Amino acid sequence: MPKAYLIAHIRVHDPEKFEEFKAMSGPAIQQYGGRVLVRNPAPDHREGDLRGLSIVIEFDDMDGARQFYESQEYTAARLVREMAAETDLMLVDGV
C-alpha cells in the first residue's frame, strides 16, 4: 500500500493566529502518524500561481491521511488556520 501525502500551500495574513494553528496542528499530526517532510516559508517558486508556505506531510496510507484531516483535533486547528490564512490543500497517494 503506497504512502499518502498532504500537500499544502498556505498564504498567511495573520501570523499570530497562524502560530496558534501550528501549536494545535503539530500534536494532531503526530497523533495520527504524520511526518512533516517539507515546511518551507519561501520556496524557490518556478511556475504556476501557488504561493506562500509549502508543506508536505507523509502518512502511512490514504486512510491515515483522511483520518488525520477529518479528526476532531485537526478540524479545530483548521478552523483557526482558516482565520489566519488562505490555503490550497490536497491529499495524494504516493507511488
According to DSSP, the β-strands at 35-40 and 85-93 are: unpaired
DSSP 8-state symbol, 55: E
Band of the pLDDT at 1, cuts 50, 70, 90? confident
For residues 43 and 50, what is the distance between their CA atoms, to the nearest angstrom? 10
For residues 21 and 48, what is the distance between their CA atoms, to the nearest angstrom? 26
Question: Given this model, what pLDDT does residue 89 score?
Answer: 97
Class of domain 4-93: alpha beta
**Which residues make Cβ contacts (< 8 Å) with residue 49, sequence separation at least 6?**
none
pTM of the model: 0.94
pLDDT in tens, 38-52: 999 989 999 998 889
